Amino acid sequence: MNKTCPVCGGVDLTKETREQVIPLEFGRDITIEATVYACPDCGMEGDFFGDNEHKIESVLEEAQKKFAAMIIDGLSEQNISMAYFERAMSLPVRTLARWKRGEVTASASALLKTVKTYPWILEVAEKRFEHTFAVERMIKAAMDEMGTALQGYLHRNGLEASPVVVSSGNTGFVGMAVRPSTKEIITKPITFNKETVKTS
Amino acid sequence: MCVIMRHRGAQMAPEVALQALIDSCDKREKIGVKYDAENDAREVFNLPTKKRIYEFIAGGGLEAVTPIKVENWRYNPKPIENPALVYSYNFYSGSLYGYLAIIFFQKTGWIMIKSFKKNTQQDPRNLAFKGLAALLGASEEGNKK
């Protein structure tokens, strides 16, 4: 029996299958075969009868279990033990083991993803989310990230950097002196600040 | 400001149409989502299924909703037998500035979510500049001290 368009009552609904991308966390999207109805009378397109709902929910549930196991497995690589995680977050013992087995809720999944993205949040939790410590730890994490990014940039461009500290009275300045790396100078002349550094 | 275009048939106020949408989402009755709107809701608002869209709307997820305009649904194949109006709104959800358009079928009471996407208009809150202003303010305070 032909299904009717719930919008205009048209009886000539067409049904087709399309590839549909379901965006998931950490860029691990999944593509499903989605059913799409189209009404030639009113031009409306959609999953009018909820054919895809169950399929998408199943994909999300599976992904949630998979991510939980993946994140918990990855904790050991960051030197984070399950016992430490549970103690810092005030979770009952063996909670992570249950999550890893697939007994994971949406809120548990959200916590795991937060810790994976910001592992230092465990240190903040351990200090009972004390504000000053939390802010300082966040700044340290940001500076570490900046340092890593800067190191990568310098390396790619054959440069080296040294910290420079200038202080006078109560005022201080912390900066960075950048120069061509020693290795580069020995092997070839480098153009830097529009001047050629001559090798000796 | 809401612009009311010329239309056929009786029209309800945008606020009433919005409440009808919330009620339909709550009861999951006479409500549908257009294919493109479902994709945008999934991509932009992290609402992967129709069920989650309905729960979000019924749960008061649309914040500071302001009506934009009301107009006839121009692609209506049966404008006389089944008149339909399109209501459009701006809304917020956290830091996102969204755009919602629904088609309201006056005879059947059916509501179709036509658009549920990121608003292309400039966010009147100007969050980025507010952050900058706060920083500048803090810096000026520091200089005064």
Over residues A123-139, the pLDDT tens digits come to 999 999 999 999 999 99
Question: How do beta strands B111-118 and B31-33 pair?
Answer: parallel
Tokens of B27: 């009861």
Across residues A148-175, what is the average pLDDT?
81
Q: Does A8 touch chain B (CB under 8 A)?
A: yes
Return the higher-pLDDT residue of A154 and A176: A154
The answer, yes or no, to whether residue A1 has pLDDT greater than 80, is no
Within 8 A by CB and 6+ apart from A95, the residues are: A86, A108
* Percent of chain A clearing pLDDT 90 (strictly above): 57
| Best of A15, A29, A44 to mutate (most B CBs within 10 Å, chain B) | A44
Q: Which residues of A touch B113 (CB under 8 A)?
A: none
Predicted pLDDT of residue A7: 78
Return the higher-pLDDT residue of B9 and A58: A58
Across residues A113-120, what is the average pLDDT?
95
Q: How many domains does chain B have?
A: 1
Predicted pLDDT of residue B84: 92
The answer, yes or no, to whether residue A110 has pLDDT greater than 60, is yes
Tokens of A138: 């966040």
The answer, yes or no, to whether residue A2 has pLDDT greater than 80, is no
Tokens of A35: 């059913």
Q: Which of A110-119, A167-176, B94-103 has the lowest mean pLDDT?
A: A167-176
Low-confidence ranges of chain B (pLDDT < 70): 1-10, 126-145
Q: Does B50 touch chain A (CB under 8 A)?
A: yes
- Closest CA relative to residue A3, chosen from A48, A45, A62: A48
Return the higher-pLDDT residue of B28 and A195: B28
Are the Cβ atoms of A43 and B75 closer than 8 angstroms? yes
Predicted pLDDT of residue A200: 44
The answer, yes or no, to whether residue A36 has pLDDT greater than 60, is yes
pTM of the entire predicted model: 0.77
CA distance B129 to B136: 10
- Report which secondary-structure segment, H or E, holds B23: helix B14-27
Q: How many residues does chain B have?
A: 145
- Closest CA relative to residue A185, chosen from A151, A159, A155: A159
Predicted pLDDT of residue A130: 96
A55 to chain B: closest CA residue: B49
Determine the structural domain holding residue B9 and report its residue range: 3-144
- Closest CA relative to residue B22, chosen from B76, B77, B87, B84: B87
The answer, yes or no, to whether residue A101 has pLDDT greater than 60, is yes
Within 8 A by CB and 6+ apart from B44, the residues are: B96, B98, B117, B118
Using CA atoms of A43, B113, B55, A99 in order, give the dihedral in degrees to the nearest 10: 50
Q: Which residues of A touch B32 (CB under 8 A)?
A: 6-7, 46, 48
Are the Cβ atoms of A53 and B36 closer than 8 angstroms? no
The answer, yes or no, to whether residue A22 has pLDDT greater than 80, is yes
Q: Which residues of A touch B110 (CB under 8 A)?
A: 6-7
The answer, yes or no, to whether residue A25 has pLDDT greater than 70, is yes
The answer, yes or no, to whether residue A160 has pLDDT greater than 60, is yes
The answer, yes or no, to whether residue A37 has pLDDT greater than 90, is yes
The answer, yes or no, to whether residue A115 has pLDDT greater than 90, is yes
B38 to chain A: closest CA residue: A46
